[in-house]
């Protein structure tokens, strides 16, 4: 599995997002290559094997406001990984 975290240098919240993603991957025992890359968009984006996980989580109301929770990432990764 490849997970990309896209972020804007102007928004430091990607550090928390990256930490949550790494913790979720570790807790699930998933083998994943995680990369972080500067992008133009403001909010951090989580891309799993080309699928924009962040957009789907926010649309489904699985995040809290503009943030993504640890539990929502775990649930999404469980669905994606298996």
Distance (Å, rounded) from C-alpha 69 to C-alpha 82? Answer: 20
> What is the chain's pLDDT, residue by residue, as a tens digit (82 residues)?
999 998 887 777 778 888 999 999 999 999 999 999 888 777 788 899 888 887 777 666 554 455 578 888 888 888 776 5
- Answer yes or no: CATH 3.40.30.10 is held by domain 2-81: yes
Q: What is the pTM of this model?
A: 0.77
- The predicted pLDDT at position 63 comes to 46
- The predicted pLDDT at position 53 comes to 83
> Where do the domains of the chain lie?
2-81
Cα angle 76, 24, 77 (rounded to 5 degrees) comes to: 20
Q: State both tokens at 66.
A: 């503009």
């Amino acid at each position: 599995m490849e997970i990309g975290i896209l972020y804007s240098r102007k928004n430091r919240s990607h550090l928390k997002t990256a930490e949550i993603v790494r913790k979720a991957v570790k807790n699930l025992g998933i083998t994943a290559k995680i990369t972080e890359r500067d992008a133009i968009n403001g909010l951090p984006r989580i891309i799993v094997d080309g699928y924009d996980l962040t957009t789907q989580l926010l649309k489904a109301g699985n995040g809290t406001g503009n943030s993504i929770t640890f539990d929502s990432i775990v649930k999404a990764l469980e669905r994606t990984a298996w």
